[in-house]
């Protein structure tokens, strides 16, 4: 067997690969953060790769080592946000369906309010396809969650696929209206109304 140089008990080539992965992740974070900041200042259509690189303090050749163009960077950003959204907005533990949906609504409103400027910028960029992908991913995740306790016993006969699609579609429609309205309705008002709609189970 050939000798494999080690550092701290870990083969050097593995250390180098880990360091490379860390650098790649750091570069992608810099580029996505730069894109977020710029999209909150100007329309996506007006941004260039040079603008993004200048804000991220990254060379253009480095940008193209990660992404083919700014559209691919936008897709990457929205995919990351999609995962963050699902993780943050779908509770893993709730004693009743009512508490589950109220907590999900509370978390969802907080998540999107914090990213309101970015959400509006994404809509203006024509990222409708990604919005539909978010709806599909969230509905699938919610369907899985509703297949586990306490839902089957509390809501007998309810198909989780139908319920998940209804809830996610309604919530995204409400979010869209809420976030693009010139006067933001207070979260407490929305939650109060949602609490009246959600049945006690």
Q: Over 70: is that where the pLDDT of 17 sits? A: no
What is the DSSP secondary-structure string of 128-172?
HHHHHHHHHHHHHHHHHHHTSTTHHHHSTT--HHHHHHHHHHHHH
Would the pTM of this model clear 0.95, i.e. be above it?
no
Q: Over 90: is that where the pLDDT of 33 sits? A: yes
Give pLDDT, residue 12.
40
- What CATH number belongs to 1-67? 1.10.10.60
**Cα angle at 79 between 32 and 74, to 5 degrees?**
45
Q: In angstroms, rounded to a whole number, what is the distance separating the alpha carbons of residues 161 and 149?
A: 15
- Range of 11-20, 64-73, 115-124, 178-187 with top mean pLDDT: 64-73
Q: In angstroms, rounded to a whole number, what is the distance separating the alpha carbons of residues 200 and 152?
A: 15
Where do the structural domains in the chain lie, given as residue ranges?
A: 1-67, 78-201
- What CATH number belongs to 78-201? 1.10.357
């Amino acid at each position: 067997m050939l000798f494999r140089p080690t550092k701290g008990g870990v083969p050097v080539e593995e250390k180098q690969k880990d360091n490379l992965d860390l650098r790649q992740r750091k570069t992608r974070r810099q580029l996505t953060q730069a894109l977020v900041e710029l999209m909150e200042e100007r329309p996506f259509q007006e941004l260039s790769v040079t603008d993004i690189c200048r804000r991220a303090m990254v060379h253009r050749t480095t940008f193209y080592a990660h992404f083919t163009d700014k559209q691919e960077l936008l897709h990457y950003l929205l995919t990351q946000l999609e995962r963050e959204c699902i993780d943050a907005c779908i509770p893993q533990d709730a004693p009743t369906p009512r508490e589950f949906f109220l907590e999900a609504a509370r978390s969802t409103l907080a998540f999107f309010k914090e990213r309101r400027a970015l959400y509006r910028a994404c809509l203006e960029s024509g990222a409708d396809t990604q919005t539909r992908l978010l709806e599909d991913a969230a509905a699938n995740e919610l369907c899985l969650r509703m297949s586990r306790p306490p839902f089957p016993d509390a809501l007998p006969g309810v198909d989780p696929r139908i319920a998940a699609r209804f809830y996610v579609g309604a919530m995204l429609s409400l979010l869209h209206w809420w976030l693009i309205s010139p006067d933001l309705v207070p979260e407490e008002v929305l939650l109060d109304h949602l609490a009246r709609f959600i049945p006690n189970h």
